[in-house]
Amino acid sequence: MELEAVPEVSAVGATNQLPGEPDDLIVTPLFQLPGADPTQRAWRLVATQGYFGAAGIPRIAGRSFAMSDTADSPRVVIVNERVCTMVGLSPRAIVGRRVKFDGQSAEVIGVVGNVRLRGPEDDGWAPICYMPNSQGGAAPRLHFVVKTRINPAALASSVRAACARVDPAIPPYQMRTLAAVRASRLADRRFAMTGTITFGGLALGLSILGLYGVLAHLVQQRTKEIGVRMALGASAARLRWSVLTSGARHTVAGVGVGVAGGLGLWKLVTAQVPGLGHMDAEIVAVVSGILLVVALTATWIPARRATRINPLDALRSE
């Protein structure tokens, strides 16, 4: 193959459907295996011998397609792990089984890893059966996957030249890296996430400013009390510790109320918008920790300042 001869190309393969681009999917009844639900469905794809290696899809059991798998040879298929789960067989157990689909019999020769055909928003891994391109019939179009040892963009001209040597009348189009395919698929989600993070960060910043201002003001109001207690013999360290614990108690109580309210609101939202999942405990812990640090800082700084002044000056502050 001309593409395999291009320098710095390590693997080449083709398929009628790239993960993340649901435009050529063909649904077919799942294989007729003992114990399989006849109403279950699987995606039927065609692939060439080097596709799995070029796309980075691992082989779990059995073998890949070979040059001997031609239109005149016995029909073979490769399934993914999701199919094994659906029919209740391990990858090793399903290899060698005779299956029937489209009214014809074929042998399962291998099992490969799962992929999300419709992108990251898939609820789960799609069940897929791969057929050799020579046996799968004419596909509407084929996507060639080229794995390189260097930056793929640097080989674009070499790949075009290799395709032109095969058939100058059919130039390659939509040449993209898989990273670009993934980026285009996630563009809307990334925009929404960026907006959410921006407004969430702004809300957190306003919360930090408000918390700091309120606690600092409360401590400042206790300046006269601190002066009286220092005049009566209380140590500065003890007074600072008292102020810190008081601020921490208020903060912990507020964070507790906020987390409880957030959990209740999250349950309400997930009931209306399925698929959001559970609230991320790590994020809640990080935000709570930030607020606690801000609260301690907001109480420590004015408390330290108040305990360093002369008690008589503190008594005159009001």
Q: What is the mean pLDDT of residues 1-12?
A: 67
Q: Which of 71, 81, 68 is nearest to 133 (CA)?
A: 71
Q: How far out from the chain centre does Cα 272 lie?
A: 23
Give the sign of the dihedral formed by CA 129, CA 135, CA 140, CA 145: positive
Distances (CA, A) of 228 to 164, 225, 239, 311: 91, 5, 11, 7
- Least confident among 108-112, 201-205, 228-232, 312-316: 312-316
Consecutive H or E run containing 108: strand 104-112
The per-residue pLDDT for 36 is 64
Q: Which of 181, 94, 187, 83 is nearest to 125 (CA)?
A: 83
Pairing of strands 41-47, 76-80: unpaired
Q: Which of 62, 65, 57 is nearest to 135 (CA)?
A: 65
pLDDT digits (tens, 9 = 90+) for 212-252: 787 777 777 777 777 777 777 777 777 778 777 877 787 78
Question: 113, 81 in Cβ contact below 8 A?
Answer: yes
Which amino acid is located at 211 in the chain? L
Cα distance between residue 271 and residue 160, in whole Å:
51
pLDDT digits (tens, 9 = 90+) for 260-315: 888 888 888 777 766 666 777 888 888 888 888 887 787 777 777 767 766 666 55
Q: Is the pTM of this model over 0.75?
A: no
Cα distance between residue 313 and residue 274, in whole Å:
61
